[in-house]
Structure 1
Amino acid sequence: MAAQLPPLPAQFKTVQHHLRTAQEHDKRDPVVAYYCRLYAMQTGMKIDSKSPECRKFLSKLMDQLETLKKQLGDCDSITQEIVGSAHVENYALKMFLYADNEDRAGRFHKNMIKSFYTASLLLDALTVFGELTEENVQHRKYARWKATYIHNCLKNGVTPEAGPIGLEGEDYNENDDQGLFSGTGQPPERSPSTYQPGNVPTSNYTGIQIPPGAHAPANTPAELPHSTGVSSTTITHPTPQNIPTVDPSLYNTPAQGDSHLTAEDFAKAQKYCKYAGSALQYEDVNTAVQNLQKALKLLTTGRE
C-alpha cells in the first residue's frame, strides 16, 4: 500500500475496525480491502471533512484507494458495481456461515468470534452500493450481537448458548462493539453488560435467512488455524430431490422488448444469474434453478 495513513482522528473511531480489516485483506482479497477503505472514506466524509486532522487523514486514505484501484486494473469487481457488490456480499456471508456453523456445533473460539464480527463489518462496507436488504440488516445485527455475547461468555468462564437465540427484549446497542477487538485481534477486557448469559432470551431467533447463492466452503476466508476442526463435512448441501418444477409458462411467454425493462431490472437479472452460478459451484441445483427461473421471468415479463 503506497501512502502510510496518519494517526486515526478520534472522530473516525467508528471506522477503525473497517480499516484494520482492509489491512488484513490487502493480500488475501484486495477487492474486499478496497471496499472496506471506500466505506471508511465515505463514512469519514460524512463525519468530518473540514478539520485539519480529518482532511489530512482522508487525503491519505484517498491516495491509498487510488493506488489500489490502479493495481487492480480492469478488475470487474471494481469497474462494475453489481459484480463488486456480489463479491463483497458473498465473502461476508461465507464468513457469517462459517461462524454460524461453528456456533451451532458448540465450537466457541476467538476465530469464530472474529469471523462473526468481521462479517458484520463487511456488511457495513456493502452499503457503499446502496441500502442493505432487510436480510443483510438482520445478518449484520445478529453477527455483531453474537460476537459480543460469545466473547462476554468466554471472558466470564460461562459456556455460551449454541445456535440461534432470540434478540427480543435485549438492550442491544450497535455502538457497543467498538472495542471488541484490539489491534492484535484479541478481545479486550470488558465490563459486564446486558449480554451476560442470564439475560439471554429463551425464544429461538429464526429471522436470519441466507440469500440465494451465498454458500460457505469448508474453509472460511479468514486465516484460521487447522485446529478449529473445520472439515469438508461442516457444510452440507441440499440434495437434488427437492428441485423445483420449472414453470411451463416461462417457455411460452414472449419477450416484451428492452424498452419495458429498466436498468434496475437488468441489474437484478444479472444478480440472479450470478447467484445461480455460485450455487452450481457448490452443486446446489435447487438454488440454481430457483434463481435462473427468477431471472428468466423478470427478463420475459418485466415482473419478479
Structure 2
Amino acid sequence: MEMASEVGIDLGTANVLVYIKNKGIVLNEPSVVAINKDTDDILAVGEEARQMLGRTPANIIAVRPLRDGVISDYDITERMLKYFIKKTCGSGRFFKPKIMVCVPSGVTEVEKRAVREAATQAGGKDVYLMEEPVAAAIGAGIDIAQPDGVMVIDIGGGTTDIAVISLGGIVASTSVKMAGDKFDDSIIKYMRKVHKLYIGERTGEEIKKTIGTAYPREENMVMECRGRDLVTGLPKTVEVSSEEIMEALEEPLHTICEAAHSVLEQTPPELAADISNSGIVITGGGALLYGIDRRIQDRTGIQVRIADDPTSCVAIGTGKALNELESLESNSLNRRAPYL
C-alpha cells in the first residue's frame, strides 16, 4: 500500500472525513466507537458502530467521543483517529504523515492541545490545526487570500462556525454550540412534549433529514415516526408533519440566525459592503436542511448560497491547505492566520 505523506482530517462531532493529497476524500464515517466495557476492546468504529447506537447489550457501549465540536473523551478519540489513519494511510512503523486537523473557531488552548496530542499519538509527525470556517471557505472554492471580505457559515454536527475572512485570516467570528446534534435533540424533545413519544437519536436524525425544514415548504410533508409511548410504555407510531418539525427547530435556528447577525455587526464597513455584494456561503451537513439558506437570507437581508457538496467542504479545504502550507507559513499575514 502506498504511504500517504500528507493527510487532512475534518474531526467532526458527527462525522470524520479524511483527505489524502492527490487522492481526495478517502474516508467519510460517523464519529462513533463501540466498546466492550468488560475488556475495554474496540468492537467497531464508524458506520458499523453507528448502527449500534441505542441498541447495545449492557456490556457494550456505543460512544461519540466528540461533543459540541471538541473532544469529550480523549482516550477514545485517539483510538478512533488511530483506526482511521491506519485504515486510510497504511501502517508503516517508521512512517508518520503530516496531519492537518480542523477545529471550531472558538476552541480554547486546552482543547487545541488535546486535538494536537490525539493526532500525534495516532501517528502524525507534524500536526497543524486550522480553523473550520477558513477550511470551509477554501473547500467551497473561495480565494481567501484576496482583500475582499467573504462570510462563511459552517453548520456542522456540534458547532456552527461563522466567520468573515479577508487576506487569509479571520476578521470577525463566532462559534455557537447549535448545529446538527441540537436539531436532532430539539426534535426528540418536541416528540416527547407534544406526542408523548420517546424516540432515539437515530430516529430524530431521520425525521430531520426526511421532513425537517427551516422555512415554510410549499407543500406540507408527513412521515410516520415510531417510538415508545411515554404513557403506556408500549411501541407506538405517530404521524408527524414538516410544519411541526419547523416549530421544533425554531430555537436552534433562531440562535444561528442571531449569531450570523452579530458577526455582521462586528464586521468593518468596507468588508460588510463586500459581503453584501458577494453574499454568504453555507457549508457543513446543516446546509442540507431544507430552506436554511432562505431563513438566513430573511434575517440578514444578504444573498445566501449553499456550497457545492457542503458536507465535504471542510475536508477538501484542509487538504488544499496542506498543499499551500509552505507558502502560507512563510507569508502569515496576520496574527489570526488560519494556522493555530
More strand by share: 2
TM-score range normalised by the length of the shorter chain: under 0.3
Higher helix share goes to which structure?
A: 1
TM-score, scaled to structure 1: 0.28
Higher-RCO chain (CA-CA 8 Å, sequence separation at least 6): 2
